Amino acid sequence: MKKLITALLFAALSLAAFAQDKPALSFTEATDLTIVGKVFPNTPNPYQRMDFTKYGGWDKKDINLLEMPTGIIVSFKTNSSAIYVNADFETISNGAPAGWASRGFDLYIKKDGKWLWAGVAAAGTNVKTEKDYNRKLVEDMDDSMKDCILYLPTYSKLKSVRIGVVEGSKIKKGDVPFRHRICLHGSSFMHGASTTRAGLTVPGYLTRMTGLQFCSLGVSGDCRMQPQFANALKDAPVEAFVFDAFSNGSASSVEKSLFKFIETIQSGKPGVPLIFMKTIWRERRNFNQKVDEAERLKEEMADKLMKEAVQKYKDVYYIECTNATSEMHDTTADGTHPGDYGYYLWAASVKDAILEILAKYGIK
C-alpha cells in the first residue's frame, strides 16, 4: 500500500512539473495579424496562393500545388517569452520533402536589424490529432517586444493557423517587413523541394538578403509557361517578375511557350521588368547521358530564344545562374534539387544581377 501511495504521489508531482512546463497560452488567428509573401494577396482561403474563382484554366495538378502555402509569411509583434503554433490542416505532406519544411513552421525574429532564425515546429502526419496540438517554436525569451515572421509549410495545406503566446503577454499585427512586391514564379526549385525548413527557399533567402519582398509562386514540376499562369500573372499586383522558367519542361515546350508567355504578361503589365533566370546544372547529369542530353537541348533552346527575346521585347532580361553547388559539386539533395546550402548559393549568385535590373525601375 505504501508503495502504491508513493507511486501515485510521484505521478502527481510529475504531472504538476509537466504542467508548469506548459504555460497557459492565448491564440490569435494569423489572418488577424499581417500576411505577406503572396503574389495574389486576396484569396478565398488566405492560406492558399491563387483565387480559383477569379482565374480559370487550371488542371488538377495546378490546383493541388497552388493550394499549398509555401512562401506565405505571418508578420507579428510580441513580448511573449514563448511562441507556439496550432494549425488546422486540410492535408499534411508525408512525401519526400523534409518534414520540417513540408509540414513545418519556421520562425525568424529580428535582432540588431537582421532576421535571425528562432525556432521550428513540424506537424505530425495525422490531420485530426494535429488540430488541437500546440507546437512550440521557441521559449525562455526575454519580455522585450520582438518583430517576428513565421513561414508556413511548403507542401501541406491549411485551413487555419493560430499563433500562441503566454497569457498576459501582447501580440499584435506586424509591419509589412519587406519593401515592394516581386513575383518569383518557378519550379520545385522555387517551391522549396528538399529544403529542411520552410524559410530556406530561394524566395526566402532573396527576401531576407535584400529586404525586398519576393513573393513565391513556385509550383513543383509545373512551371512550363502555361497560358493559365500567364493569364493570371498579367493581373498580379506586383512591380516586377523573376522567372525560373526553364527548369521544368523540355526544349520543345520552351520553344512553344516562351514568346506567348512574355506577350500575355506584358499585355497586362507594360513597363514591368521580366527577369528570366538560366536554370542550374542538375547533378544527375554528371553520369546519366540521357538526362544530360535532354538538359543540354533545353538549355540551348532557352539560350537561343532568350537572346532573341531581350532584343524583341522591352523590359525583358536574361541572367546567368552560377551552379547552386560548391566547388566539389556535393550540395545536391537528390541529383535534381539542391540542398539548403545549394539554394543559398543560387540566391546569392543571382542577387546582384536582379538588384541591378530592379534599380533601373526604382525598386530598391
Question: Distances from the Cα of 354 to the Cαs of 168, 206, 296, 317, in angstroms?
Answer: 44, 10, 25, 9
Record the pTM. Answer: 0.92
Pair (107, 144) in one structural domain: yes
Pair (212, 311) in one structural domain: yes
The pLDDT score that the predictor gives to residue 97 is: 57
The pLDDT score that the predictor gives to residue 325 is: 78
Determine, yes or no, domain membership for 192: yes
Pair (333, 195) in one structural domain: yes
Buried b (16+ CB within 10 A) or exposed e, 144-161: eebbbbbbbbbbbbbebb
Pair (196, 167) in one structural domain: no
Q: Which domain holds residue 339?
A: 179-359
Pair (152, 198) in one structural domain: no
The pLDDT score that the predictor gives to residue 339 is: 92
Pair (132, 71) in one structural domain: yes
Picking from 134, 151, 173, the residue at the C-terminal end of a domain is 173
Picking from 126, 153, 173, the residue at the C-terminal end of a domain is 173
Pair (32, 148) in one structural domain: yes
Pair (322, 271) in one structural domain: yes
The pLDDT score that the predictor gives to residue 12 is: 43
Picking from 173, 199, 214, the residue at the C-terminal end of a domain is 173
CATH number at residue 308: 3.40.50.1110
- Count structural domains, the chain: 2
C-beta of residue 184 within 8 angstroms of C-beta of residue 89: no
The pLDDT tens digits of the residues spanning 52-68 come to 999 999 999 999 999 99
The pLDDT score that the predictor gives to residue 322 is: 75
- What is the residue-wise DSSP string for 207-258? HHHHSEEEEEEE-TT--S--HHHHHHHTT---SEEEE--SSSS-HHHHHHHH
The pLDDT score that the predictor gives to residue 184 is: 98
The pLDDT score that the predictor gives to residue 98 is: 65
For residues 45 and 240, give the distance between their C-alpha atoms in angstroms, rounded to a whole number. Answer: 25
Pair (222, 294) in one structural domain: yes
Low-confidence ranges of the chain (pLDDT < 70): 1-21, 96-98
